[in-house]
Structure 1
Amino acid sequence: MSKRLPQIFVLLFFCISTAQETPKVEFLTFADCLERTMANNLALQHGLLGEQVALTQYKASYGKLLPEITATGDNRNSWGKEIDSDTNLFVDEALHTNEGTLNANFNLFAGFAVWKNIKAEKQDRQISKINVERIKNDITIDLAQRYITILYLQEIIEANKLQIKSSEKQIELAQLKFDNGSVSESEVFKIKAQKASEELTLITNQNNLTDNLISIKQLMNLAIDTEIALSKPDLEINPLTNLDQQQYDLTKTAVNRHPAFRKSQLETDRARTELSLARSLRFPVITGRMFWRTNFSSTEDMIPTHEQISGNANTAIRFFITIPIFSRFQTWAEVKTAKLEWKQAQIFSKLEENRLSKEVMKAITDTRTSIKKRDASALAFEFTQKSLGADDLKFELGKININEWSLTKMNYNKAQATLIQSRYELLFNNALIKFYLGEAFSL
């Protein structure tokens, strides 16, 4: 027994090490993925920071209604001929004076530019806020596409593996027939070519699966080496009805709700405000200044410092007006540019409306097509499956050649892939339309 103890310890150590090295797999539903994406997505975090910046700038814009207050100090030490600030006479001796000034500048009128600037900052805040909604929409749709694609590829990969196993059995059968002299060697090569084609399809799908897994991890801001497993949703759904009769109303409703279209409308309003700001340059600017100034000299031993400060104090209020007469066409250029940019924003908003209308209409059309495609592909798969089963038996009995069997096998593979694809397409497109209409994206 004592001789076997070291072997037992080695085996136990190996089992513990293997258990520690085995990565933990996280099982996630679509709701779990969406929750993590909204909490950790880097693009969304960037947009939220932009919203905070816009909010800070909007709050700070109200400060332009207040006076600008500054304080300055001057410590002067001079030797030689100099003007004494107390007597305003030239003296030829060392002077040591200190002067302080408190300024307050008021913006009394600037063509309503201050209020228009506050309005512009408020619009910027609204734009940044709706931009966050747009980012959430985009990453939700992107996440759903990746999620559906991963499940589709996983299912199609399993089908590819079964197809390869089926081809391997046919290769064994063809090899036996070749050994018995029933078929030529070229017949065996054709089945091997069929198997090689299926293996290539498998490798391509596996590569696509890896790419989509990396993308969905990056959306959730997970480490690349994190192992995840996605929960398969119920593919038996009740699609939306009356899409043909309501497609235009649904499209209009979806476009008006879409953050991208609302953002383009806000940007049009923002461009209109910029035009108003540019026109304010044509108005005169009235400003006011109030200051209090005093000084004291450290060389005046006879007069106390506090008496010098109070005795030398000076208070003044001034008003200034600046009337624009000619600015070398600068004001004209800014007004003209702002007007053109406003028209550009209007056109862009219309382009965005057209783009989104086309996008929503495509989703509706794809949903209708997916319903018909699912039903048709289900029938096609059922018949090709029966046909392949019959041709497998015929090939074993030698009643059909390899060309006929290969054609039936290719039709079966294609019908199976089409059926799997149509079911996932219907699931995604149906959920997408509901999402466009304001419902939460759920699979």
Structure 2
Amino acid sequence: MKKIGLVTTLVLISFATMSQQKRILSLQECIEIAVENNLSVQRSELNLQSAEVNLLQSQAQRYPTLNANGNYGYNWGRGIDPTTNQFTTQRINFNGVSASSSMPIINGLQTTNSIKQSKLNRDASQYDLKKSINDISLNTALNYLNVIFNKELLENARFQLESSQQQLDRTKKLVESGALPISNELQLVSQVATNEVALVNAQNNLDLALLALKQSLLLQPGQEIDIEIPEIDIDQAEIENSRIIDIYNEALSQMPEIQSADLRVKSADLGLDVSKGGMFPTLNLSGSMSTNYSDAFKDFAIINATPSGLSPTVFETASGEAIFEQEFDFELQESTVPLSTQYDNNLSKRLTLSLNIPIMNGFRTRSDIQRSKIALQQAEIASTEQRNILYQTIESSYRNAVAAAKTFSASQRQVESLEETFRAVENQYNNGAANFTDYQVASNNLFQARTDLSRAKYDFVFKQKVLEFYQGKALTF
């Protein structure tokens, strides 16, 4: 008996020492940590960033495009001189630069509708992020309440053990005085051992609840936590005075999944307009500039010109005398036309206004329109489905909250009754008017009733908070 009591004491002291080194968190801190670390939330944030990039790209479609190109290379064998367009067989070193720009003028409002659609998709992604945060917040609140519940069960188990231990101490004195048989003491020793096992199990359940909370927060390994125990008010009148339809109507304007689904419908409708825009003519304005250089483009200069004599021409004077021309001996100096000169001489400019009238394109546009119509119908179904899910969830939560409130009230009355019963049986047992079996049954019934009361209490609190959450209220105690 002493060994069991010593082990229990050491366990409790160990837990108390560890709790001093733990990080104490409130519900709000737990929610903030969970939101910051949760991978689903991070995934939703990335989806939002992607939607913002898509919006930026859609907006950029309004502006002209501008692209520059350049080339540099060698050509061997038979080829075409890019500056003269003549055939040549010599090795040519060539390069060129060009720039082009294009701007849509009329495209069936496809660009405008695409921008509007991208904005709606961005806004829907923001609501999706809020939905992820809400889900994590509710799950964290549930784990938080589960820890509080198991802490209360631990206190109940500790109270039960202390009560049994006190009764054992009194029974020992009565046995020593000869007022009670030794069997009563042995039965209480067994009861104390049973209560110690229950205490250890309660502590283990609390550790598991804390572990579940810690895992939901995705904390670093080795970091121990504990929670603050808030003052929890039980207000059953608020549930009784609420109506499902009122909560639902309020949730329609509060829940991000509804907002996201509605925006997806509008986005799909704009997607249909974008597809229909493909049936209209498009008008584009484009322009380009280009130039090139080739080392095959030569320039020739006359050098060292010397007179070499006269030679007759086909012309003659009025008197019939022949006209001579001076002949020269000279050398030709060959040089490649400079890069700047070739770039200036070969510069080409173009401005184009192009009109495209869709007549037959393999039913591609009509197929896009049909797919957009299907996407719109799917978005409308998803929106209706989200509303149905929300109403069903609220209705179930409301029914469960009402049932939990009734269970809590019944458990309160049961505990009050069993406490009176236990006090009466305990007095009778101490006076020898009741046997140990009666005492043990009364004690166990009271312990079980307190456990059921705690369970009913926190079950009701969570379901009440869920309903308040759907009404746009913060998750606080």
TM-score higher than 0.5: yes
**Partner residue of 1:427 out of 461, 465, 470:** 461
Q: Distance in 1 between matches of 2:190 and 2:369?
A: 71
Shift, 1:28, TM fit: 2.4
Q: Distance in 2 between matches of 1:400 and 1:313?
A: 116
**Cα pair 1:235 1:423 within 8 Å, conserved:** no
Percent of pairs with identical residues = 23
What TM-score, normalized by structure 2, do the two folds share? 0.75
Q: Which runs of 5+ in 2 are unaligned?
A: 1-16, 300-336
In the other structure, the counterpart of 1:362 is: 396
Contact 1:217 1:224 (8 Å CA) reproduced: no
Alpha-carbon offset, residue 315 of structure 1: 0.8
For 1:302-313, list aligned pairs within 5 A.
302=299, 303-313=337-347
User: Structure 1 residue 384: deviation in Å?
Assistant: 0.6
Instruction: Find the aligned partners of 1:101 and 1:218 in 2 and give their Cα distance.
Output: 59
The structure where helix makes up a greater share of residues is: 1
Contact conserved, 1:109 with 1:287, CA < 8 A, in 2?
yes
1:10-25 → structure 2 map (5 Å cutoff): 24-25=21-22
Q: After the TM superposition, which residues 127-142 of structure 1 pair with which residues of structure 2 at under 5 Å, given as runs?
A: 127-142=124-139
Judge which range, 44-53 or 159-168, deviates more. Answer: 159-168
Task: Describe the shift of the 1:242–1:217 C-alpha distance in structure 2 as closer, same or farther (beyond 3 A).
Answer: closer
1:442 aligned partner, one-letter code:
T
Give the superposition deviation at 1:323.
4.2
Relative distance call for 1:274 and 1:199 in structure 2 (3 A) is farther
Of the three residues 92, 95, 99, the one matched with 1:95 is 92
Answer whether contact 1:255 1:357 (CA < 8 A) is retained: no
**Do residues 315 (structure 1) and 349 (structure 2) align?**
yes
Does structure 2 retain, via aligned residues, the 8 Å contact 1:23–1:227? no
The answer to whether residue 407 in structure 2 is matched with residue 373 in structure 1 is yes
Distance 1:336 1:402, change over 3 A: farther
SS at match of 1:65: coil
Q: 2 CA distance for matches of 1:37 and 1:428?
A: 18
Alpha-carbon deviation of 1:292? 0.8
- Equivalence for 1:339: 373
Q: Which AA in structure 2 matches 1:56?
A: V
Deviates more, 1:426-435 or 1:354-363: 426-435
Equivalent runs, 1:23-422 vs 2, <5 Å: 24-164=21-161, 205-238=202-235, 241=238, 243-244=240-241, 246-302=243-299, 303-395=337-429, 404-422=438-456
DSSP 3-state at the match of 1:276? helix
Aligned to 2:61, the other structure's residue is in SS state helix
In the alignment, what sits opposite 1:10? none
**TM-aligned CA deviation for residue 37 of structure 1:** 3.7
More strand by share: 2
Q: CA deviation at 1:126?
A: 0.3
Deviates more, 1:384-393 or 1:264-273: 384-393
Q: Is the 8 A contact 2:239 2:401 kept in 1?
A: no
Q: Which moved more, 1:240-249 or 1:49-58?
A: 240-249
C-alpha distance in structure 1 between counterparts of 2:172 and 2:369, whole Å: 84
Separation in structure 1 between the aligned mates of residue 81 and residue 430 of structure 2, nearest angstrom: 122
Shift, 1:374, TM fit? 3.1
Count of residue correspondences? 424
Q: Give me the whole-angstrom Cα distance separating, in 2, the residues matched to 1:381 and 1:299.
A: 107
Structure 1 stretches lacking a partner, 5+ long: 1-19
Give TM-score, length-normalised by structure 1.
0.80
Secondary structure of 1:241's partner?
helix
Cα RMSD after superposing both structures:
3.8
What amino acid is the match of 1:347? Answer: I
